[in-house]
Amino acid sequence: MSILVDGDTKVIVQGITGRDGSFHARSMLAYGTKVVGGVTPGKGGQRLDELPVFDGVGEAVKATGATATVIFVPAAFASAAIREAADSDLSLIVCITEGIPLMEAARNYRYAKDRGKVLVGPNCPGLITPGHCKIGIMPGQIHAAGRVGVISRSGTLTYEIVHALTAAGIGQSTCIGIGGDPITGLSFVEVLEMFERDPGTDAVVLIGEIGGEAEEEAAEYVRKSLSKRVVAFIAGRTAPAEKKMGHAGAIISGSRGTAESKIKAFREAGVTVVDRPDQVPEALRG
């Protein structure tokens, strides 16, 4: 089992004729994802290898039966791409694009939510159900199918920890990067709820970082409602206050959002918090 995507998920790529869109469309296809077409306004009727290109999302969905889209368009056009996808019959929208202004991101979040769509990102690596479907930029070769869910704000830390899990013989059910911006679509809590309901997930690895209160909210959900084991790693322990460190959301203000406050919240919720990424496999087995 898995969450959000499986071997039957049909995907279109918005921005498929661009450098990033074309590269990752081919990468997803090579992994085995059912990529069924793409969208680039003004280039409808062209093809990327065997994939048809359409002028609009609605046309692409009608022609291909796609249920998910991944967005590889510049930040200036990403909000329009998200909204066009939200107006279609797609159920899942994955936005890889970074640099979307904060107020636009807030409006995009509400626009998608009001239409019942699941939005992952922006500024995220996407998600993968190993062996079945990869949407986004995660390197498929480091993943292995199994029963541990992974949720993260950081793409590179996801790769590091997943690689350690796979090397230790611990496979993953679904790995999802929710994005590092202050406002994203899916939250830690929403993904934890999905993993709680998934019979194919026995435990969860949560990868957080400084800034915001998403991890504290996740800890509260774990304390009250999650029956499955959680191991967490929080990045940014040595970051100075009031400075952006990496992601736009990684800014500490006051006593909330610090690494210490997040670690304290998780430990009080019964979560095992490790000091280094390479300690995650051992913690899961402990």
Name the phi and psi angles at 35, rounded to 5. Answer: -80, 120
Which tokens belong to 116?
């019942």
Longest dimension (CA), the chain: 57
Asked whether 119 and 95 are in contact (CB, 8 A), the reply is yes
Spatial CB neighbours of 248, under 8 Å, sequence gap ≥ 6? 102, 123, 180, 181, 182
Spatial CB neighbours of 220, under 8 Å, sequence gap ≥ 6? 265, 269
DSSP string, 1-17: --SS--TT-EEEEETTT
CA dihedral 157, 159, 163, 169 (to 10 degrees): 90
Type of residue at 271: V
Rounded distance, CA 231 to CA 152, Å? 12
For Cα atoms 129, 212, 176, give the angle at the middle one, nearest 5 degrees: 5
Residue with tokens 């590091």: 160
> Which residues have a catalytic role annotated?
247
Asked whether 239 and 275 are in contact (CB, 8 A), the reply is no
Rounded distance, CA 11 to CA 230, Å? 30
